[in-house]
A and B are shown apart, each in its own frame.
Chain A
Amino acid sequence: MPVFYMRSPVYYEAMPPGRLHPISVALRDIASIFGRMGFSVAYGPELEEEHYNFNVLNIPADHPARDMQDTFWTKESPRRVPRTQTSPVQVRYMEEKIAEGIQPPYRIVVPGKVFRNEATDATHEAQFYQNEGLVVGKDITLAHLKGTLEQFFKEYLSEGAQVRFRPSFFPFTEPSVEVDVWFEAPGKEGRWLEVMGAGMVHPSVLSNAGIDPKEYQGFAFGGGIERLVMVKYGVDDIRGFHGGDIRFVYGFDETTA
């Protein structure tokens, strides 16, 4: 069936409003849901030092963990990386706070662009957005991670969303988990979707940032934003997001609440 969409009877002299990119819409949803749970929004550079992208996150040079992400390198000396993850902002943020004399608790989300040097297809892009989360405090547990993510997915995806953890490995968290979310798309059967990696912040990441891991602990998570948008709105090819094609942006109808 063709879809008809009538504009209100305006004439060409009049100016209809433009559109927000769906990533912006997602960023607003993310910021607002996490904002209600007390999260600030933090930023860091997209072209990152090797030190922050890898070393302080427990990924030393010549460690097999570096193979977990295909990395672009610049020709600079010292070389830098278009960041492979938003996680470097964890350490940057904590360092900044410690330098300002502000001890935890911290709660931040870091939505931002990341880069992976891998062949592109319907589900892989060389650049995409990730949303990182970091909570550090005195008694933060894996149970808080589960509660926080469940709340996010209930609000972002659907009331019926559930979260489950599977064991995994990231050098900067211990324990580390993969996060699956149970999602029932309208008119479809529910299924578990792998949506992010997470875990309890590794004590050496805390100490690298100048925080005493004996006193504080926390959780961190990170996952692709395009993937969430794809699941939520039924987009089947990730390559439309950053191609600069307005047909993609207009593939969604926008209404303001």
Chain B
Amino acid sequence: MKTSRAWLQNYFNKELPSTEVLAKALTFHTAEIEETTEDLLEVNVLPDRAAYMLSHRGVATEISATLGIPLKQDPLREALPQYEVSKRLTVTRDAEGKCSRYIGALITGVSVGPSPEWLRVALESVGQRSINNVVDATNFVMLNLGQPLHAFDAHKLTEREGQYAVGVRPAEQAERITTLSGETYDLEEGTLLIADMHADGAPLGIAGIKGGDRATVSETTTDIILESAHFDGVSVRKTAQSLKLFTDASSRFQNKPSVALPAYGMRDIIALIQEVAGGVLEGVVDSHEELLPPDPVVVTLDQINGVLGSTYSAQDVSGAFDSLGFSYTLAEETFSVLPPFERKDINIPEDLVEEAGRILGYEHIESVMLPVQSIAPDQAKFRGIEAIKDFLVARGFTEISTPAFAKEGEIELQNPLQEDRPFMRASLLPALEDALGRAVHVAPRVLGHSRYIKLFEVGTVFTKHGESLLLSMGVVDTSGKLAAEALKENVATLEQELLRIPASAHFNLTGTIMELNLGKLNLEKLGAEYAPVSVRLSAYRPFSSYPFALRDVAVWTPEGTKETEVAMCIQEAAGEFLVRTDLFDRFEKEGRVSYAFRLVFESLERTLSDTDLDPAMERITEALNQKEGWEVR
């Protein structure tokens, strides 16, 4: 909800503090603020408060409560005028009762034209476009009070015996409507419409969402029919979703504002239209279901302190409720609160606990430790899973995590994120195979001169028969054909030494990857006595998205020369691109030791070329040869 500080100022005599101060107050007592500028506060109104807070008036009441600045006026607390009942307008609501209130009004003799400066500025300050004085007035009152409104050009409706008839009705099969902005929509049967009942129910608008093009207010309009209504939130939400048409009106109706609100909206729009466009009010007609006063909600001081863990007094809580403008009675530390009609979020005692807690401030809640518990926690299953991971890591396997969405599977998503991965995975193997393939390419950079690349994953798969927790393992032999043998041996060790039962592993055809169902094992038993290895991680070093380059260097050194001496010498001479030095060969001959290193070069910014690598290798060769008795081979 975009709110303007200048607009909010209308609610207060005292000058409001900066948007920064307002934002801070709202953040810690009401709602998150997404953005602030010098005049603008973008309040993230969540569904519970949306019935009253998608409006400047709602935000003003919160500012008043949280900063203790009294409201100059509150339009929802001022009495409603009694209007003449219209003789020229009738309204009918739908038989199903999805429209629980429809107030119509006829104003004649308006002159449609540009809005006055203040109105245009106000709308533009919250990112709205000025259209004309009548449309702008309806938008202003909506943004001010939260009540969506609509104006129809009366002459575009059919008059019969001096009367217009506006009705709310469900759409029939295969009906369409073109909205005032020109898009045409095919309507599902039952979609709630506003209709001209004297023109065979011709649609005038999609109820609670958007007006149609049939009775749009234009420069030539002189008489207008105003609508201030209440439509069922679920129905509006369904329609908005099926038409993918989300409007300021639909976002308000779907949050179920009070049925009392339309009367206040109508009062303010009648006054504002007459102010900015002139005209004479012919009359108003109000059709509604029975309006029930809100039920009182009762909460005790003990309940409030018992939930918050606080030590507030009845006086503290009274102060919070007063600042919110609640009417309540207090007897023996029991508050009986009559929620204001627009506060649809207050229904149970816990709602009042929240009101007290947030207004008095969560910063006053102390940290208290939970009492010591006599029952020992049960983490056996978790520890059983971790026991398997530790067993594999100790045997050279590296854990990976891969996406749960897959190209193939048994359970398909209706709305996948990626079109080419519409299934929930039914196996861990395709992703493992893919990961192994990529690991081969980066192995010299990541693993150094390791012959085997061994990966595993513990993850859930989804089949028609249910979901299961699987373990996958895979091996690549980078310099031979022993991958299948190595995997077989590792699986056998796992079964014999840890699981102690054959785990019915499924291997692929080449025997280099396999998966087994951990759900078939007694993980609780496995973890009952096991404490997972405690691992510390260093800060993360991002890897380069550019390819690395490899160079080998071998050097003769005098007997007794240590590997680290050679490595240090290489590293000092190499320059900025050397990221890894791995010894891959060492032998002694005739009183000399030969060390062979594989060097990995990489840049975080670009792909390295020979013009980077050759000078580095020259420097390394020179540095090594300079040492007494060393000789690059």
A binds B: yes
Which residues from chain A sit less than 8 Å from chain B, CB to CB?
Answer: 1-7, 9, 11-13, 15-25, 27-28, 31-32, 34-35, 37-41, 43, 45-47, 62-65, 67-68, 72-76, 79, 82, 105, 107, 113, 115, 117, 120, 126-127, 135, 139-144, 146-148, 150-151, 163-169, 171, 174-178, 186, 200, 202-203, 217, 233-237, 241-257
Query: Would you call A20 and B535 a contact (CB within 8 A)?
Result: yes
Mark contacts of B571-614 with chain A using CB atoms, 8 A cut-off: 1 yes-contact digit, 0 otherwise. 10000111111111010000000000000000000000000000
CB atoms of A233 and B539 under 8 A apart:
yes
Residues of A within 8 A of B30 (CB): 167
Rounded to whole Å, the gap between the CB of B360 and the closest CB of chain A is: 11
In the complex, are the beta carbons of A127 and B543 less than 8 A apart? no
Q: What's the Cα separation between A74 and B350 when bound, in Å?
A: 35
Tell which of B365, B416, B582 touches A72, judged by Cβ atoms closer than 8 Å.
Answer: B416
Stretch at the interface among B192-200, B284-292, B399-407: B399-407
B373: CB under 8 A from chain A? yes
A202 to B415 alpha-carbon distance, docked (Å): 31
The stretch of B3-11, B102-110, B123-131, B305-313 in contact with A is B305-313
The yes or no answer to B275 lying at the interface (CB within 8 A) is: no
Contact A243 B47 (CB under 8 A): no
State whether A19 and B411 are in contact (beta carbons under 8 Å apart), knowing that A38-B373, A167-B362 are contacts in the complex.
no
Give the distance to chain A from B429, nearest Cβ to Cβ, in Å: 12
Closest residue of A by beta carbon distance from B353:
A175
Considering residues B386, B393, B416, B577, which has the most beta carbons from chain A within 10 angstroms of its beta carbon?
B393
Contact residues on B (Cβ < 8 Å of other chain), bracket:
35 or more
The contact of B400 among A2, A3, A21, by CB within 8 Å, is A21
Residue in B50, B400, B580 whose beta carbon sits within 8 Å of that of A4 in the complex = B580
Q: Return the 7 tightest CB-CB contacts between A and B, nearest first.
A: A143-B309, A141-B309, A175-B354, A244-B435, A169-B46, A165-B362, A38-B373
* Inter-subunit contact A244/B438 (CB<8 Å): yes
Measured between beta carbons, the chain B residues less than 8 angstroms from A73 are 413-415
Cβ-defined contact, B49 with A169, below 8 A: yes
Q: Is A32's CB under 8 angstroms from B534's CB?
A: yes
Query: Which residues of B are found within 8 Å of A31, using beta-carbon distances?
Result: 379, 382-383, 532
Contacts of A7 in B (CB 8 A): 448, 582-583
- Choose among A9, A107, A148, A246 the residue that contacts B439 (Cβ–Cβ < 8 A): A246
Contact of B509 with A by CB under 8 A: no
Segment of B156-164, B203-211, B221-229, B454-462 in the binding face: B454-462
- Supply 13 further A-B pairs (C-beta < 8 A) apart from A21-B400, A143-B309, A146-B309: A2-B576, A20-B399, A22-B537, A28-B535, A31-B383, A41-B378, A105-B375, A141-B309, A147-B367, A234-B540, A244-B438, A253-B538, A255-B536
Supposing A28-B532, A28-B534, A246-B435 touch, asked if A143 and B362 sit within 8 A by C-beta, the answer is: no
| Residue contacts A-B, CB under 8 angstroms, 14 given | A2-B579, A3-B579, A4-B571, A17-B396, A18-B398, A41-B382, A107-B377, A127-B405, A165-B363, A167-B29, A217-B306, A233-B538, A246-B442, A252-B538
A5 to B490, CA, bound (A): 28
Residues of A contacting B457 in the complex (Cβ-Cβ under 8 angstroms)? 244
- Which residue of chain B has the shortest Cβ distance to A162 in the bound complex? B367
Contact B237 A178 (CB under 8 A): no
Q: Which of A23, A62, A248 has the most CB of B within 10 A?
A: A62
Does B401 lie within 8 Å of A244, measured CB to CB?
A: yes
Residues in chain A near residue B28, CB distance under 8 A: 166-167
Contacts of A39 in B (CB 8 A): 377
Query: Is B563's beta carbon under 8 Å from chain A?
Result: yes
One digit per residue, 1 when the CB lies within 8 angstroms of any chain A CB and 0 when it does not, for chain B 420-442 equals 00001000000110110011001
Cα(A144)–Cα(B310), bound, Å: 11
Query: Which residue of chain A lies nearest to B574 when distances are taken between CB atoms in the complex?
Result: A2
In the complex, whether B21 has a CB less than 8 A from a CB of chain A is no
Query: Is the CB–CB distance between A64 and B254 below 8 Å?
Result: yes
Evaluate contact between B535 and A254: CB separation under 8 angstroms: yes
User: Which chain B positions have C-beta within 8 A of A21?
Assistant: 399-401
CB distance from A137 to the nearest CB of B (A): 8
The reply to whether the CB of B451 lies closer than 8 angstroms to some CB of chain A is yes
Contact of B577 among A2, A28, A120 (CB under 8 A): A2
When A18-B393, A39-B377, A167-B362 are in contact, do A141 and B537 touch as well, CB less than 8 Å? no
Contact A41 B379, beta carbon cutoff 8 Å:
yes
- Is B79's CB within 8 Å of the partner chain A? no
- A61 CB to nearest B CB, Å: 8
Given contacts A38-B375, A68-B47, A233-B540, contact A6 B567 (CB under 8 A): yes
State the CA gap A74–B405 with chains docked (Å): 12
Q: Is B412 an interface residue (CB 8 A)?
A: yes
Residues of A within 8 Å of B452, CB to CB, are 15
In angstroms, Cα B563 to Cα A144, docked, is: 56
Q: Does B176 contact A (CB under 8 A)?
A: no
Query: Bound state CA distance, A211 and B538, in angstroms?
Result: 44
Q: Determine the chain A residues whose CB is within 8 A of the CB of B353 once the complex forms.
A: 174-175, 200
Asked if A35 and B377 sit within 8 Å, CB to CB, the answer is yes
Residues on the A chain within 8 Å of B462, using CB: 46-47
When C-beta atoms are compared, the residue in chain B nearest to A19 turns out to be: B398
Across-interface contacts of B401 in A (CB, < 8 A)? 21, 23, 241-242, 244
CB-CB under 8 A from A148, the residues of chain B are 369-370
Q: Which residues on the B side are within 8 Å of A72 (C-beta)?
A: 413-417
Nearest CB of chain A from residue B288's CB, rounded to whole Å: 23
A72 to B370, CA, bound (A): 37
Measured CB to CB, the closest approach of chain A to B29, in angstroms, equals 6
Most interface-central of B362, B366, B462 (chain A CB within 10 A) = B362
Whether B494 sits at the interface, judged by CB under 8 Å, is: no
Which residue on chain B has the smallest CB distance to residue A235? B540
> Considering the chains assembled together, what is the distance between the CA atoms of A43 and B570 in angstroms?
51
B351 at the interface (CB under 8 A from A): yes
Query: In the bound complex, do residue A141 and residue B307 qualify as a contact, i.e. CB atoms below 8 Å apart?
Result: yes
- Of B432, B445, B532, B539, which contacts A247 at CB under 8 A? B445
The residues of A that contact B448 with a CB separation of less than 8 Å are 7
Q: Which of A25, A32, A107 has the most CB of B within 10 A?
A: A25
Contacts A9-B563, A47-B411, A143-B368 given; does A126 touch B308 at CB 8 Å: no
For the complex formed, measure the closest distance between the CB of A214 and the CB atoms of chain B, giving whole angstroms.
11
Please pick, from A37, A167, A236, the residue contacting B354 in the complex, using a CB distance under 8 A.
Answer: A167
Q: How far is the CA of A204 from the CA of B570 in the complex (A)?
A: 68
Chain A CB within 8 A of B255 CB = yes
Q: Are A144 and B368 in contact (CB under 8 A)?
A: yes
**Also in contact, A62 and B563, with CB within 8 A (given A165-B362, A257-B535):** no
Whether B449 is near chain A, meaning CB under 8 Å from some CB there, is yes
Cα A105 to Cα B445 in complex, Å, equals 51
Measured CB to CB, the closest approach of chain A to B551, in angstroms, equals 15
Residue of B at shortest CB range from A140? B370
> In the bound complex, do residue B395 and residue A15 qualify as a contact, i.e. CB atoms below 8 Å apart?
yes
